[in-house]
Chain A
Amino acid sequence: MAAEKSSIKIITLIAADGSVFEVEPNIVKEMKTVQSYIDELDQNTVSIPLPNVFGNDLAMIIEYCKKHASEEETKEAKEEFDFEFVKRMKSDDKLRLLQAASYLNMESFLQFMAKAIAAEIENQSVEFVRDYFQIESDFTPEEEAELRKENEWAFK
């Protein structure tokens, strides 16, 4: 007998470091990458490898999804959670989670992380942003000077 998709009770996510997470289907709804994988399968239990997401990050993402999928939590409680969630993260964590959100195709979590990152680089110098994103400039000093002059308004 072919199982109905609604009969899937538990989804197993396997992170890049091999750590395993068992979650209910409503938790992965926002992960479009995972969801499309589930939709294609016709099985009772599903196990999905996520080779681009580390276990620590996946744990945080699941924690976020659980909180936001919960119908019992008030809007205020979710906002409070979001605030604390960002507060305990380092900038590296934010970038990794943004990358994971992009890979998992999670729209609202991606926006949430993007906002957290934008808040950190707002009104900061080019040097700060380069350092924050760990970007190595490939401009020659002349090229950079030329661009600074062209876009002078932004550097005043």
Chain B
Amino acid sequence: MYIINYRVTVLTDVVEHNVCDMNDMISELPEDVLLYILSLLPTKDAVRTSILATKWRNLWTCLSAFDFEILDCKSYDPESANCLLDLVQRLLHKSSRIERLCVQIFRTTNIDANKISYLMYSASKHEIQYLRLSLGDRSDKLVLLHSFFGFESLNELYLGLEYTLYISNGNFFPSLKTLVVSDENSVQRLFSGCPVLLELTLYNCYWENIKKISVAISTLKKLIICFNIFCVDYDHDMTVMIDAVNLLSLRCTCNPTIEFIPVNLTSIVDACIDLGYDYLDNELYAAHCAIKLLSGISNVKSLKLSNDTLQCESGNK
């Protein structure tokens, strides 16, 4: 009986203690629980928690994944873009556990290129596995110097930069498996730094300044090439060499006067070829290009061709 009475007393104490703590019980929780809640929120919401109270001020910087975006038409001004870059820069200084970082600022001109270079430099010091950068506007003809350093742990890279990157030769991406890139000037150099690349996507390619691209990557399993149909002019002789002995899948959407040179595509299993045919003035050349591409992938088990592609071929009388 005595023991039971004793326990009841103790429990009453605890209850009173709990009742006192009813206010702000969230802040009493362990930091990893709070961080877990923050990790479920969009980055913007997580950053906003910085002003809840001092305890929360830097909590969001302990997260491991961040999505910074300016998509809104209202904020197409360089001021807010530069302000966001500063915010990301401060985060890169403070944090030591970033695994995933996306910075996307669309259709904003006059972004400070130095800030972008510096951001990339700082990012390279982290163990980032997933990096996505979409920045700049085509009307800005900026050059980023010394933009790439070693990204040891990077697994996926999405680059939609409207800048020219200067990349020297070197094994910058020793772990990179997936590369998605739209920038024509740096793309060739990027390949040589990716010794274990499995998937490559060249999207929204304008190819104004280069005539030849060579995708010679022996580890590559999947290749997607998607040209911007409106931006490659039809007199532009463009060649794309694809030398990938382990390639399993090829998807190609482009205009028919791009000459593909397929080499060693002996492993290929499926292909999807869509060569746009509209406004074509050199049918014979288009047919030559289409047939050259198709004969290079003759080992394929499954092939999807668009109607336009078939029309290209029939142009070869």
Chain A contact surface mostly: helix
Residues of B within 8 A of A133 (CB): 24, 26-27, 52
A102 close to B52 (CB less than 8 A): no
Per-position contact with B for A112-148: 1 when CB-CB < 8 Å, else 0?
A: 0011011001111010011001111111000010011
A99 close to B51 (CB less than 8 A): no
Of the listed stretches B38-46, B167-175, B237-245, B306-314, chain A binds B38-46
Q: Is B300 an interface residue (CB 8 A)?
A: no
Residues of B within 8 A of A137 (CB): 51-53
Task: Please provide the chain B residues from 47 to 79 with a CB less than 8 Å away from any CB of chain A in the complex.
Answer: 47-54, 56-57, 68, 70, 72, 75
Residues of A within 8 A of B22 (CB): 134
A155 close to B25 (CB less than 8 A): no
Task: Please provide the chain B residues from 94 to 135 with a CB less than 8 Å away from any CB of chain A in the complex.
Answer: none
How many residues of chain A get a CB closer than 8 Å to chain B's CBs?
A: 43
Q: Which residue of B7, B14, B48, B90 contacts A155 across the interface (Cβ within 8 Å)?
A: B48
- The docked-state distance in angstroms from the alpha carbon of A18 to that of B26 is 24
Q: Is A150 an interface residue (CB 8 A)?
A: yes
Given A16-B15, A18-B11, A121-B41, does the pair A126, B48 have CB atoms closer than 8 Å?
Answer: yes
A152 close to B37 (CB less than 8 A): no
Interface size class of B (residues with CB under 8 A): 35 or more
A139 close to B51 (CB less than 8 A): yes
Q: Which residue of A49, A95, A110, A135 contacts B11 across the interface (Cβ within 8 Å)?
A: A49
Chain B contact surface mostly: helix
Residues of B within 8 A of A90 (CB): none
A16 close to B11 (CB less than 8 A): yes
A129 close to B52 (CB less than 8 A): yes
B48 close to A99 (CB less than 8 A): no
Q: Which residue of A lies closest to B86 (CB)?
A: A150
Q: Which residue of B lies closest to A145 (CB)?
A: B51
Of the listed stretches B28-36, B190-198, B219-227, chain A binds B28-36
Residues of A within 8 A of B36 (CB): 110-111, 114
The smallest beta-carbon distance between A132 and chain B, in angstroms, is: 9
Q: Is B1 an interface residue (CB 8 A)?
A: no
- The docked-state distance in angstroms from the alpha carbon of A154 to that of B44 is 5
A110 close to B83 (CB less than 8 A): no
- The docked-state distance in angstroms from the alpha carbon of A18 to that of B14 is 11
Residues of A within 8 A of B43 (CB): 154
Task: Please provide the chain B residues from 187 to 233 with a CB less than 8 Å away from any CB of chain A in the complex.
Answer: none
Q: Is A6 an interface residue (CB 8 A)?
A: no
- The chain B residues found within 8 Å of chain A, CB to CB, are 7-8, 10-11, 14-15, 18, 22-30, 33, 36-37, 40-45, 47-54, 56-57, 68, 70, 72, 75, 80, 83-84, 87, 90
Can you add 17 more A-B contacts, CB < 8 Å, to A18-B11, A134-B25, A135-B27?
A14-B11, A49-B11, A95-B26, A98-B29, A118-B40, A122-B40, A122-B45, A129-B48, A133-B27, A137-B52, A151-B48, A151-B87, A152-B80, A152-B87, A153-B80, A154-B44, A156-B80
- The chain A residues found within 8 Å of chain B, CB to CB, are 14, 16-18, 49, 51-52, 54, 95-96, 98-99, 102, 110-111, 114-115, 117-118, 121-124, 126, 129-130, 133-139, 144, 147-148, 150-156
Q: Which 3 A-B pairs have the closest CB atoms?
A: A154-B47, A118-B40, A51-B14
